[in-house]
Structure 1
Amino acid sequence: MWKLWFLIQKERLKMKKEKTISSGQMACLFLSFILGSAIINIPQPLVQAANNGAWLSVIIANGLAMFLLACVFYLYHKNPNFNLIDCSQKMLGKWITLGIFIPILFLLFLNLSYIVIDIGGFFANAMMRETPVYVFHVLILFVAALTAKAGIEVMARMFVVLLSYVILFSVIVLVLALPYYHVENLLPVFPEGVKPVVHGTYITFSFPYSELVLFSLLLPFVHKEKEKSLKKKMFLVLVIHEFLLISAILCTIMALGSLAGTLKFSLFQLARLINIREIITRIESFIGIALIVGSYMKTTIMLFILKETLVKVFKLKDDRIIIFPVAFTSLLLTLTMYETDIEFGEAVFIVWPLFIMTVVVLPFLIITAIALFRGKKIETNHDSY
């Protein structure tokens, strides 16, 4: 009897490892990850930093992101079973790899907590002010944990519909706000010189573009027979993201003027302006739901990435059992790290960019450079996923 139970568990583990998704589904997850709540969260701090040149910051940051993505696919094509942890261990050794990925684990916990704190703050400040913020944190982490536990196939199928909702209602708001646009608000492009544009590039590249290095840990889940078009679709996602983000920034600047850099959730504020003959009004709730949905998708994907990283670094046998402990740990972080919105804002826009550049982007570029100089195929373990 015990032998039969062991064989059943072994077969279940084997079936879990064989779960794969198509290249199109992976591209959808990628767009959900980098778009998520960025289309609503990014315009305000970016306009505050880069003024009217915020859209130029997006273009430059997107170009840097394409370079990072090219590095990801360079490593990916050197080994069909690409895994960044395996590559690092092969080229840098076990202990250096452990020294690199322990800080990345802390960063993943912080990132997951930041997303939840952000959506909780939106609920508490804009929609349900009488409800304690921890209620929102518990709900979104619980639902995200259930989704991540269901597996990447379920996430890929579900997020196609949810992503369509986020994009659709964001575009509808931008179109309906057309009467409030004033093109003259876009000038001058460089009111304070080029320095603010560079600052804006630094902010935008750190969030969300540099996070694509973390997302690359999911690439082994693409079905080997369907990965030929993956590179093209992933680069197309960056182009779509750039277009949507620039559109949101330009529209908020044209409608809100100088207030675009001071009003948080500026796309939400833009939706509040819409009042067409008292028939189409109060549609900011749709943008609020889009923000919630986008944050939920990114929370789920980040939780799944964190789970996979923990499994790989510590060589755990059962990966599903750690999802709820990880979510609970993140919940405790959301409730104890910051007491005010000002502290959270400083952590996100001052500490986070430097942290992710140092802990994620720099080691990734070093690994890529070593692989380039060696110029040969990287052989990694096949029990990664």
Structure 2
Amino acid sequence: MIERGKINDNQFRVLVILFIFGPAVLLETSLLAAAAKQDAWISAVVGVGIGLLIVWLYTKIGSKFPERNLFEKLEYVFGKWIGKIVSLLFFFFFFQLAAHILRNIGDFVTVHIMPETPIHFVEIIFLCIVIMGVRLGLEPIARTGEILFPWVIFFFFIMIVSLPPEFKIENIKPVFEGGIKPILKGSTTVIAFPFMESILFLMIYPYVNKIKEANKAFFTGALIGGGVLILISVYTILVLGADFTARNVYPSYALAKKINIADFFQRIEAIVAGMWFISIFYKLTICFYASTVGLAQILNLKEYRSLTLPLGMIMVVLSIIISPSMAEFMSYLPKYEFPFNLTFGLFFPLLFLVVAKIRKKTGKEPMNQTKGDGL
């Protein structure tokens, strides 16, 4: 195994929550409101429900050959050459996802915090910290996640308890105005972003101490993260309204600006920014970690750390090319993200289970082979 560290089920759960919490906490509600308007919160509920079914599917895959990560499973079931080709496709999926997240960070900082700073400088500084974390390994990443996670909960709690005075019930009326179609359209965003992306946690499965606890932690982490998305969607629509939410790229950041208690406790949007920076750091770190470990296995390297710097340099360039502007990125998500994520988040996992089932029924189930062999 390239990775020698081990994490417990609670650390794994924290990583899942932070991953789902990540960029979705700022971007998701805008896409939901654009599709379903005031019924965006219903889309969130439907999307989270279906997303949890997808996570349950991933736990079934994680339970098969639990001593192997996703890339090893693919090569083990599909055979050496087909498995490597599919693994390479997954590497590109993980890597472009990391590049998109890095671009999200650069866009947010240059728009709201340091508008005169070139975006590539922001990305390089942030990525240096990510590379440092990935080089230290999975165990330090998970342990620091446990340390920082209470701060995310604390910041989120402050925002949640401070906003009810700003609620406007009329903002969610009328319910089901556009029928079921807009709601289902909005839910696809939640299903693809972030639930289908969570397939990369199968790269971490072998390093969790107990596989049964890993399954439970994966599902409960996704449930908690999904609950947060639903809650933020409800709050955003109730406070800002569907129209303003759909037109604002970062509605959750604008939501924090509405907090005003006795004209004293107000303008605490830095809390949302801090909460977002912690969670998106972990999402980017997990994506980059999965990419580097996966590529090292495809190339049959003994360790992955030598790949972190060159892949980091490529990622900065790719993040600029892949999304020339925030407007293009927001238009890209609803059009192309769902079909793209559907391929890697549902089609290939189902194909994996089907092939593994056929192998078992035909007596060619690869359990009898030594680790790393093809079929």
Return the alpha-carbon distance in structure 1 between the equivalents of residues 180 and 308 of structure 2: 45
For structure 2, which runs of at least 5 residues remain unmatched after alignment? none
Q: State the Cα distance separating 1:370 from its structure 2 match.
A: 2.4
Matching residue of 2:254:
269
- Cα distance change, pair 148–197 in 1 and its aligned pair in 2 (3 A): same
Q: Which amino acid aligns with 1:286?
A: I
Residue 331 of structure 1, aligned match among 303, 306, 316: 316
Residue 88 of structure 1, aligned match among 74, 80, 85: 74
Instruction: After TM superposition, list the pairs within 5 Å mapping 1:126-145 onto structure 2.
Output: 126-145=112-131
Q: State the Cα distance separating 1:302 from its structure 2 match.
A: 0.7
Residue 239 of structure 2, aligned match among 235, 238, 255: 255
Q: State the Cα distance separating 1:86 from its structure 2 match.
A: 2.8
Structure 1 stretches of at least 4 aligned residues deviating more than 3 Å after TM superposition = 372-378, 380-384
Return the alpha-carbon distance in structure 1 between the equivalents of residues 132 and 199 of structure 2: 25
| 1:368 is aligned to 2:353 | yes
Matching residue of 2:304:
319
Return the alpha-carbon distance in structure 1 between the equivalents of residues 159 and 125 of structure 2: 27
Matching residue of 1:5:
none
Q: State the Cα distance separating 1:381 from its structure 2 match.
A: 5.2
| 1:245 is aligned to 2:233 | no
| 1:340 is aligned to 2:328 | no
Preserved contact between residue 100 and residue 359 of structure 1 (Cα < 8 Å): no
Return the alpha-carbon distance in structure 2 between the equivalents of residues 192 and 126 of structure 1: 34
Q: State the Cα distance separating 1:70 from its structure 2 match.
A: 2.5
Matching residue of 2:201:
215
Residue 155 of structure 1, aligned match among 141, 145, 158: 141
Return the alpha-carbon distance in structure 1 between the equivalents of residues 196 and 78 of structure 2: 22
Q: Number of aligned residue pairs: give it.
A: 368
Preserved contact between residue 81 and residue 382 of structure 1 (Cα < 8 Å): no
Say which SS state the counterpart of residue 177 (structure 2) adopts. coil
**How well do the aligned residues superpose, as a CA RMSD in angstroms?**
2.1
TM-score in terms of structure 1 length: 0.89
- Cα distance change, pair 85–19 in 1 and its aligned pair in 2 (3 A): same
Q: Which segment is superposed worse, 169-178 or 243-252?
A: 169-178
Preserved contact between residue 100 and residue 323 of structure 2 (Cα < 8 Å): no
Q: Aligned residues: percent identity? A: 26
Matching residue of 1:191:
177
Return the alpha-carbon distance in structure 2 between the equivalents of residues 237 and 280 of structure 1: 32
Q: State the Cα distance separating 1:374 from its structure 2 match.
A: 4.4
Return the alpha-carbon distance in structure 1 between the equivalents of residues 8 and 178 of structure 2: 46
Q: State the Cα distance separating 1:340 from its structure 2 match.
A: 2.4
- For each residue in 1:109-150, what CA deviation from the matched residue of structure 2 results, as whole angstroms up to 9, or x when unmatched? 211111111111111111221222112111111110001111
| 1:98 is aligned to 2:78 | no
Q: Which segment is superposed worse, 346-355 or 251-260?
A: 346-355
Return the alpha-carbon distance in structure 2 between the equivalents of residues 229 and 249 of structure 1: 30
Residue 291 of structure 1, aligned match among 276, 295, 299: 276
TM-score in terms of structure 2 length: 0.92
Instruction: After TM superposition, list the pairs within 5 Å mapping 1:340-359 onto structure 2.
Output: 340-359=325-344
Matching residue of 1:10:
none
Return the alpha-carbon distance in structure 1 between the equivalents of residues 218 and 192 of structure 2: 19
Q: State the Cα distance separating 1:373 from its structure 2 match.
A: 4.3
Matching residue of 1:182:
168
Residue 205 of structure 1, aligned match among 184, 191, 207: 191
Preserved contact between residue 22 and residue 280 of structure 2 (Cα < 8 Å): yes
Residue 44 of structure 1, aligned match among 8, 15, 30: 30
Preserved contact between residue 26 and residue 222 of structure 1 (Cα < 8 Å): yes
